[in-house]
Amino acid sequence: MNGIDLKNRHAVVTGGAQGIGLAIARRLLHSGASVSLWDMDATLVATTAAELSSLGIVHTEVVDVTDAREVELAAAATVALTGKIDILIANAGIAGPNINTWDYPVDAWKQVINVNLFGVYHSCRAVVPYMRQQNYGRIVNVASIAGKEGNPNASAYSASKAGVIALTKSLGKETATSNIAVNCITPAVAKTRIFEQMTQEHIDYMLSRIPRGRFVEPDEISAMVAWLVSEENTFTTGAVFDLSGGRATY
């Protein structure tokens, strides 16, 4: 593992109790950062924090990212405890059902947008003011290759991740003179518990689209994120970084 220096930095990882969020949190801890895990699963996030505690300082907040007020309170509590938020990984997300757009239940479509897009917006909205006060910050929003290409039978997920890409570009421009870098990643699917929300047909489709012939590993994602949130990233902002295994066409 290549060393990335994140000593004396504090990071927030939403959806940090499992999957990609957990892999990122682990990598940040290995790099010397302290970490706050924000997750709505109180039991799971407590268990994860206990498992990670040997690597460094881990703090938890039980928060539903679809609730703007809860996110604001979590940010305030984190700053009160740690003194600052230097890094935000807006990772919390859901897949939603695999259904044709014209048959997609409206409530399910709204839920995916609320978690995947509003959740990222709420998190950035709550954290950026603290970063502006300290004239420093690094944000990585977790989008998806589906946000670029659009997956069939996943219109809500694809639309939500496209929204994350556009939000990242807008916010990156707004904070560019405040020493705050805002970027996003567009990974191919990783084999995590999100597979439980998908049909086998959809999983097979996504694999067939990856020239590497395999799914991305969460640790491969965390390696890219670690550099993006480091002080070495002094110029890049409002950008999209692919982890698509060759699938991306632009």
Per-residue pLDDT of the chain (250 residues; tens, 9 = 90+): 677 999 999 999 999 999 999 999 999 999 999 999 999 999 999 999 999 999 999 999 999 999 999 999 999 999 999 999 999 999 999 999 999 999 999 999 999 999 999 999 999 999 999 999 999 999 999 999 999 999 999 999 999 999 999 999 999 999 999 999 999 999 987 777 666 767 888 888 878 888 898 888 999 999 999 999 999 999 999 999 999 888 887 7
Annotation says 130 is catalytic: no
Query: The CATH number of 10-243 is which of 3.30.470.30, 3.90.1150.10, 2.60.40.1180, 3.40.50.720?
Result: 3.40.50.720
DSSP letter at 90 equals E
Phi, psi angle pair for 64, to nearest 5°: -95, 110
Q: Which is the catalytic residue, given 104, 136, 157, 250? A: 157
The token pair at 4 is: 């990335």
